[in-house]
Amino acid sequence: MGVGERTRIRTHPERAVPDEAEEILLAGLVAHVGFVVDGQPFVIPMGYHYEAGKLYIHGARGGRLPRTLRDGQPVCVAVTLLDGLVASRHALYHSMNYRGAIAFGRVRPVVGDAQKTAIFDRMTLRYFPGRTMGVDYHPPSAADLKITELLEIEIEELNGKRRTGPPTGPEDAQPDAFGTRGVFPVPDR
């Protein structure tokens, strides 16, 4: 796992943060999972779990995603954290502050009720720190586990990218220039 030709950042390479990529995967809440079926690309948003070089996604066994993502299928996963909206005195330089990680890997189903339950437990704890299986909620039953496919994505390549700071337009550092500028909080919509 590391940066490769697919994940080498070409545009603004100075924003590459390969050392932060795992941290971004640990902090993110939504993964956009991209895959190709018969030449047609699909991107599906999902909850996920990350640990030790592997991403985990899950879905109803009958759903399209688990049915489509067969053993060994290549996928691309994007996780984004939005940190601010960046306004410039020039149209071209409007931007966003963000941290993003993109991973490429291959899928394999996780089998075995004990292993699936342990991963779901840790996934739930990542979203709800301190929430305890068997105390705060019932563990999944054998029937629950049967109808829920858990897929492991072994990461082959991973990189992170981060933009921080104010706008970088030609007049953004000049207080008396035309227009307004600033970095604004992400609105709650």
Binding site for ligand FAD (CB under 6 A): 30, 42, 44-47, 58-59, 63-65
The backbone torsions φ and ψ at residue 138, rounded to the nearest 5 degrees and listed phi first, read -70, 140
- The CB-of-32 to ligand FAD minimum distance in angstroms stands at 9
- The CB-of-181 to ligand FAD minimum distance in angstroms stands at 32
Which residue number, 80 or 95, has a Cβ lying nearer to ligand FAD?
Answer: 80
What distance in Å separates the CA atoms of residue 175 and residue 172, rounded to the nearest whole number?
Answer: 7
Which residue number, 46 or 85, has a Cβ lying nearer to ligand FAD?
Answer: 46
Which residue number, 32 or 106, has a Cβ lying nearer to ligand FAD?
Answer: 32
What is the SS3 assignment for 31?
strand
Which residue number, 7 or 80, has a Cβ lying nearer to ligand FAD?
Answer: 80
- The CB-of-132 to ligand FAD minimum distance in angstroms stands at 21
Do 161 and 19 contact (CB within 8 A), yes or no? no
- The CB-of-78 to ligand FAD minimum distance in angstroms stands at 13
At 149, list the tokens: 């496919």
Range list of H helices, the chain: 21-27, 64-68, 113-127, 142-147
At 43, list the tokens: 């991107």
Which residue number, 58 or 181, has a Cβ lying nearer to ligand FAD?
Answer: 58
Do 71 and 153 contact (CB within 8 A), yes or no? no
Residue nearest ligand FAD (C-beta atom): 59
At 15, list the tokens: 């924003």
- The CB-of-186 to ligand FAD minimum distance in angstroms stands at 16
What distance in Å separates the CA atoms of residue 126 and residue 122, rounded to the nearest whole number?
Answer: 6
